[in-house]
Amino acid sequence: MKKLTFGLMGFAALSLAVATLFTSCKKDEVKELASISATINGESFSATAVAKQDNNNAKLADLLAGNGDKITSIYGANTNGQVLSIVLNGNTEATYDLSLAVSLNPTTLLINYLTTGDIEDTAKDAIKAEAKTMMVYKKSEGIQDANSKDFYVATKANVVVNKITSVGTIKYYKGTFTATLENANGEKLEVTDGKFSCPGK
């Protein structure tokens, strides 16, 4: 009987140790995951990423979403006030592309939509059919006017989610991205070597 009791106590102690180690690893993993970085026109961008959906993300999510679509929002802001946010039409490991026809005049179309909320049904249908991701870059988090020269929307983008890790009820997304961004003045920025490892909302 003593041997059995000792065995059960030993098993319980071992289980607790394993559980503690597992929880510790998960916490460390979360710390590593909360980041987003890229090179934007040759300059380094790095930020802490959070599961957040601001007003712009919410509008872009509505634009992408169809019946039953699962939308993922990734939002990164740094101490310099710069913001890079990505919206995905999906929540699985996959490739998400944005490549809109030039005939749609995508920059003007998207900036007008983010400013007024208005968009023609034909344009909306084309975006839902062709776009699986949207992206916004702001040189200052406080910028609300999409017509600002420091507010950029993606006209082309490629986002690859290559790993999803669940920690409790939260999903953490890891992947890469590239994009071409443009502002209302037609000025372009090239985003290369993009990486994210962060929660998605």
What amino acid occupies position 86? I
What is the pLDDT, as a whole number, of residue 150?
93
pLDDT digits (tens, 9 = 90+) for 104-155: 899 999 999 999 989 999 898 888 888 999 999 998 877 878 889 999 999 9
Residue 51's pLDDT band (cuts 50, 70, 90):
low
pTM for this structure? 0.79
Residue 153, C-beta contacts closer than 8 angstroms, at least 6 positions apart: 106, 107, 110, 111, 114, 134, 135, 136, 146, 181, 182, 183
